[in-house]
Structure 1
Amino acid sequence: MITINKNRHWIFLVFFWSLLGITIWAQMIEDFDFWSATYQAVLVLICSVFLAHFLSDVILPNALRKNKMNWFAVQSVIVTLLLSLCLALIYTVFSDEISRVRAYPGDGDLSSVHFLWSRFCGSIPAAILINGTACGLRFYQEHNVIEQNHAALKQVHLEAQIKILQDQINPHLMFNVLNHIHILMQSDVKLASVLLVQFSDILRYQLYECNKEYVPLHLEIKYLKDLIAVEKTRWGNELEVKSKWNIEDGQLQIVPLLLVPLIENAFKHVSRLPNQKGYVHLSCRQENKELIFRIENSHTEQYKLPSKSQGLGLENVKKRLAIQYPEKYQLNIEKTDSDFTVTVVLDLK
């Protein structure tokens, strides 16, 4: 993109200077002979190109980098006056009394010094226009480069932030499951073996699929199902775990591990009333390129399970949704005396 913009910039500059040279020559040929008009047009063009590009390509970028625009304004005035002087000298050297009367009727009877001063003052608007055009084009180009660099830095920052949020999920989940497997190894080796096999599928997905920006929806759904299966095995008969899945198009793309904290959060903060099972109910359906994920767990402040860690949970999901699905999601949280429900609606277009 930067190369394309540079090419366009140079093409426009060649067109601009060529048009300016032709215009100057067309004006000169009316009052001077062919060679005199050509020499003057070439000299005017050389002076204009040199001074205008010195101002726009050397002084202006340096002023922008050092943030010294006040000094640049002073330098612009100096260069503009210098260009006006060059134009006035060219007009004075190549003109005689006859051509001066013909080209500049009001200044024909002036001495060379006064004519030089008159042409100097008269050339200032042209010098301002030439330098202003060159600086305007350069400023536009520099502004585009700054905007592109800013966008690139912002993208890198967002990607780094997403990576941090995603990496926070994996260790948290791994430690929870591995700790439970360690406990089961001392009491129920068979169940620990089943849990270990289920957990290996989860790790395989995290290692080989989650490094991508997007993954197919069917792979992410399989991962969530495996995660639910692991949690269901961990809890056994202590919790009622139900899940419903209805996916129409598994090839739609979704960012990986986005909904994992909601599942972790539900199982970590589930609570049970005396002589009653706690529950975690999940439903996930996709239709018309829209994913609707809803998870509900029993919750009471009096009987909720103690937790030493507050976890990442909802804050993690909120941040990732804001970064990766701006204006393409809905997040609804409902909390009552008996349950806690989180609903996420994603636009997967």
Structure 2
Amino acid sequence: MFTIKKADYLFWTFMFLMTLLQLSDDLTFFGALIFSIAITLTLRIHVIYVINKLAKWHLTINKSPKFIIYTSLACIFTALILSLEGYIIVNLILSEKMGNSNEMVSLFFGMLMVSVLISGGSYSIELFKQNVESEKRHEELKNSVLESEIEHLRTQLSPHFTFNILNNLHFLIRKDKEEALELLSRYSKILRYYVYESQNKWIKLDDEISFLKHYFQLETDRSGEGLQISCQWNIPENQLLIIPFLLSTFVENAFKHVSAFTDKTNYINLHVFLKNESQLIMKIENSTDTVLNRTKKQGVGLTYVQKRLNLSYLKNYKLYIEPQENKYIVQLQLNLKR
């Protein structure tokens, strides 16, 4: 993986080689090598211990115009050191003559230009690093907030689901003993699944579908014979994951708002299938009375499920809710992960 640290090493290697190539025209290879090492090390110290610290001070503590003054003074000081190093290497180590004062002035301004360019580049890199770190902190904070909100919704969903279960218990005592025992067994499976799986952020799609089938059958049993119910399950074997108790809310909503009139055919049609191996499609349609439906207040279930979709599947789902004349259609397209 290419990192900023590796890029830093490559830059200073490139800087050393370019300096060596440039000085080889005027000095012997040994002299050019020593001078290139001196220039690279000095500029490296200049960047690490001066420019980077000034940049951090400017960016995080005090965004003051004095930064330009301090940086300029640092570049002048570094240029003087580089010029002095050049004079010592050429005149004392190589026993050659640097030349007249014009050459020293030219060397100084050349080193000053290099110092300024290196300082500007280092400041840009430090600014980039700070932006990356700031974005990373922002993303971590955002994820933390999302996790907290998701957890809050899950705690809200728990009493909502339990309330619906308790609200339906009166149905059991009105049935005969054998059917009541069967329904209680189904309730037991649903509640057991709910207790254990509600603590998980992600569960297997197959487990969620199994739960949904039990839940759908339970609602079917208590709805009576005056309701025509059709369900299709086309879910092949898979390794997909989904957030728990997402789909049952739509089933609950359909049974809750299905029309109760006896002078027409009342129905609920459910179709759940996989498309393109990882896209889950759920379509549920139920008959309803347009006039009565307008007066009903939307339950908390749909409100919670829409929030959960936004938090866990942002840009990975499409939810169509279409109230039509005497029928209500909900279609969910969900891109699942493995």
Q: Please indicate, yes or no, whether the TM-score normalized by the shorter chain is above 0.5.
A: yes
Deviation digits for residues 14-66 of structure 1 (CA, Å, limit 9, x no counterpart): 34334434544554565456776565444433321111112454232343333
> Which amino acid is 1:90 matched to?
E
Tell me: CA distance 1:30–1:298, structure 2 relative to 1, closer, same or farther (3 Å). closer
Measure, in 1, the Cα distance between the counterparts of 2:241 and 2:228.
25
Match of 1:87 in 2: 82
Structure 1: where are the runs of 5+ without partners?
Answer: 102-107
Match of 2:229 among 242, 251, 276: 242
Tell me: CA distance 1:285–1:34, structure 2 relative to 1, closer, same or farther (3 Å). closer
Whether the 8 Å CA contact 1:252–1:348 is kept in 2: the answer is no
Tell me: CA distance 1:164–1:198, structure 2 relative to 1, closer, same or farther (3 Å). same
> Which amino acid is 1:292 matched to?
I
Match of 1:300 in 2: 289
Match of 1:251 among 238, 257, 269: 238
Measure, in 1, the Cα distance between the counterparts of 2:273 and 2:25.
80
> Which amino acid is 2:185 matched to?
V
Residue 326 of structure 1: how far off its partner (Å): 4.3
Partner of 2:285, secondary structure, is strand
> Which amino acid is 2:255 matched to?
F
Match of 2:304 in 1: 316
Residue 211 of structure 1: how far off its partner (Å): 4.2
Measure, in 2, the Cα distance between the counterparts of 1:236 and 1:83.
90
Measure, in 2, the Cα distance between the counterparts of 1:37 and 1:305.
87
Whether the 8 Å CA contact 2:31–2:89 is kept in 1: the answer is yes
Tell me: CA distance 1:62–1:311, structure 2 relative to 1, closer, same or farther (3 Å). farther
Residue 276 of structure 1: how far off its partner (Å): 5.4
Deviation digits for residues 131-172 of structure 1 (CA, Å, limit 9, x no counterpart): 233334444444333333333333333344334344433321
Q: Does 1:99 align with 2:97?
A: yes
Q: Does 1:149 align with 2:160?
A: no
User: Percent sequence identity over matched residues?
Assistant: 27
Q: Does 1:44 align with 2:30?
A: no
Whether the 8 Å CA contact 1:269–1:305 is kept in 2: the answer is no
Deviation digits for residues 196-234 of structure 1 (CA, Å, limit 9, x no counterpart): 322222222233335444433322211111111222233
Tell me: CA distance 1:69–1:163, structure 2 relative to 1, closer, same or farther (3 Å). farther
Q: Does 1:60 align with 2:63?
A: no
Tell me: CA distance 1:328–1:41, structure 2 relative to 1, closer, same or farther (3 Å). closer
1:285-296 to 2 correspondences below 5 Å: 285-289=273-277, 290-296=279-285
Residue 127 of structure 1: how far off its partner (Å): 0.6
1:52-201 to 2 correspondences below 5 Å: 52-66=47-61, 68=63, 70=65, 72-94=67-89, 99-101=97-99, 108=100, 110=102, 118-181=106-169, 183-184=170-171, 187-188=174-175, 190=177, 193-201=181-189
TM-score normalised by structure 1 residue count: 0.77
TM-score normalised by structure 2 residue count: 0.79
Whether the 8 Å CA contact 1:246–1:286 is kept in 2: the answer is no
Whether the 8 Å CA contact 2:51–2:71 is kept in 1: the answer is no
Measure, in 2, the Cα distance between the counterparts of 1:178 and 1:250.
34
> Which amino acid is 2:289 matched to?
T
Whether the 8 Å CA contact 2:246–2:305 is kept in 1: the answer is yes
Partner of 2:220, secondary structure, is helix
Residue 13 of structure 1: how far off its partner (Å): 2.9
Q: Does 1:273 align with 2:261?
A: yes
> Which amino acid is 1:264 matched to?
E
> Which amino acid is 1:208 matched to?
Y
> Which amino acid is 1:249 matched to?
P
Segment drifting more, 8-17 vs 220-229: 8-17
Residue 294 of structure 1: how far off its partner (Å): 1.5
Residue 262 of structure 1: how far off its partner (Å): 1.3
> Which amino acid is 2:318 matched to?
Q
